[in-house]
Amino acid sequence: MERMQAFQTAGRVQAFRTAAREGGFVEINQYAYESVQWLWRKAPDTARETHEHMCIDGVTNSVTVYWMGNPAGINSKTFRGIPALQEWFRLRPQTIVQR
């Protein structure tokens, strides 16, 4: 039973990594820990936001994306499913028009 859970978790982490790469994220740490992996994505040149960081957590089977929307603080969003993460990639505006 424990071995089956480990296999399912590894598969889910791999699915999150694949979705992250498709969303433009690249791995930060060359040697990922067993349960946590960090990735990042550079914001487009026309965006006000800085780099986005993503933490894939194999213990909680979730992904959290962190970004700065303004100088006052860091925003984050946690996903427990791959379809929700992929939808967020599609819906999230990538550029901000300067006025």
Average pLDDT over residues 28-35: 65
Residue 78's pLDDT is 97
At 57 the pLDDT is 92
pLDDT(32) > 70: no
Selected residue with higher pLDDT from 57 and 67: 57
Q: Cα 74 to the chain's mean position, in Å?
A: 15
In the chain, DSSP finds a helix count (H) and a strand count (E) of 2, 5
Q: Residue 10 and residue 45: Cα distance in Å, rounded?
A: 35
Question: What percent of the chain clears pLDDT 90, i.e. is strictly above it?
Answer: 39
Instruction: Give buried/exposed letters for 8-45 (b at 16+ CB in 10 A, else e).
Output: ebeebbeebbebbeebebebeeeebeeeebebebebee
